[in-house]
Amino acid sequence: MNKKVISVLLVIVGFINFFPVIGIVSSDVLAGLYGIDAPAGDLLILLRHRALLFGLLGALIIVSAFRERLQSIAICSGFVAMIGFILISLTEPEKGEAITSVANIDIVATLLLAIVVFLRVGRTTERKTRN
Domain boundaries, the chain: 2-130
10 in Cβ contact with 63 (< 8 Å) = no
**Using one digit for the tens of pLDDT, what is the confidence trace for 59-91?**
999 999 999 999 999 999 999 999 999 999 999
111 in Cβ contact with 79 (< 8 Å) = no
48 in Cβ contact with 24 (< 8 Å) = yes
Residue 110 has pLDDT above 80, yes or no: yes
Residue 14 has pLDDT above 70, yes or no: yes
31 in Cβ contact with 38 (< 8 Å) = yes
* Residue 131 pLDDT: 57
Q: What is the DSSP letter of 35?
A: T
**Using one digit for the tens of pLDDT, what is the confidence trace for 17-70?**
999 999 999 999 999 989 889 999 999 999 999 999 999 999 999 999 999 999
Residue 126 has pLDDT above 80, yes or no: no
3 state DSSP class of 91: coil
* Residue 7 pLDDT: 98
Contacting residues for 24 by C-beta, under 8 A, at least 6 apart? 48, 51, 52, 55
**Using one digit for the tens of pLDDT, what is the confidence trace for 91-100?**
999 999 999 9
Q: What is the DSSP letter of 11?
A: H
